[in-house]
Amino acid sequence: MSELRAEGISKRFQTAEAELSILRGINVHVRTGDSLAILGVSGAGKSTLLHILGGLERPTEGSVKHDGQDIYELASNELARHRNYNVGFVFQFHHLLPEFSAEENIMMPCLLRGWSRRDAKEKAEAMLEAIGLTDRSTHRPGKLSGGERQRVSIARALVLSPPVVLADEPTGNLDPRTAGAVEEILLRLNAEAGTALILVTHNEKLANRLAKKSYLVEGRLES
Per-residue model confidence as pLDDT tens digits over 181-193: 778 877 877 788 7
Residue 68 lies in a domain: no
Domains identified in the chain, total number:
1
The SS3 assignment for 93 reads: coil
Residue 28 lies in a domain: no
Higher-pLDDT residue of 82 and 20 is 82
Q: Quote the pTM value.
A: 0.86
Q: Would you say residue 172 has pLDDT above 80?
A: no
Contact 106, 136 (CB under 8 A): no
Q: Would you say residue 51 has pLDDT above 80?
A: yes
Residue 8 lies in a domain: no
In this prediction, what percent of the chain has a pLDDT beyond 90? 53
Residue 222 lies in a domain: no
Q: Looking at this protein, which amino acid is placed at residue 23?
A: L
Residue 185 lies in a domain: yes
Distance CA 163, CA 24 (A): 26
Residue 120 lies in a domain: yes
Residue 7 lies in a domain: no
Q: Would you say residue 138 has pLDDT above 90?
A: yes
Q: Express the helix, strand and coil content of the chain in percent, nearest 5 each.
A: 40, 30, 30
Which band of pLDDT confidence, cut at 50, 70 and 90, is reported for residue 90?
confident
Distance CA 106, CA 97 (A): 10
Residue 107 lies in a domain: yes
Contact 81, 69 (CB under 8 A): no
Backbone torsions φ then ψ of 37, nearest 5 degrees: -100, 135
Contact 163, 196 (CB under 8 A): yes
DSSP H or E stretch at residue 46 = helix 46-53
Q: Would you say residue 1 has pLDDT above 80?
A: no
Question: pLDDT at position 175, please?
Answer: 75
CB crowding 208-221: b at 16 or more within 10 Å, else e = eebeebbbbeebeb
Domain range holding 150?
A: 33-55+76-215
**CATH number for the domain including 97?**
3.40.50.300
Mean pLDDT of 17-33: 89
Q: Would you say residue 105 has pLDDT above 80?
A: yes
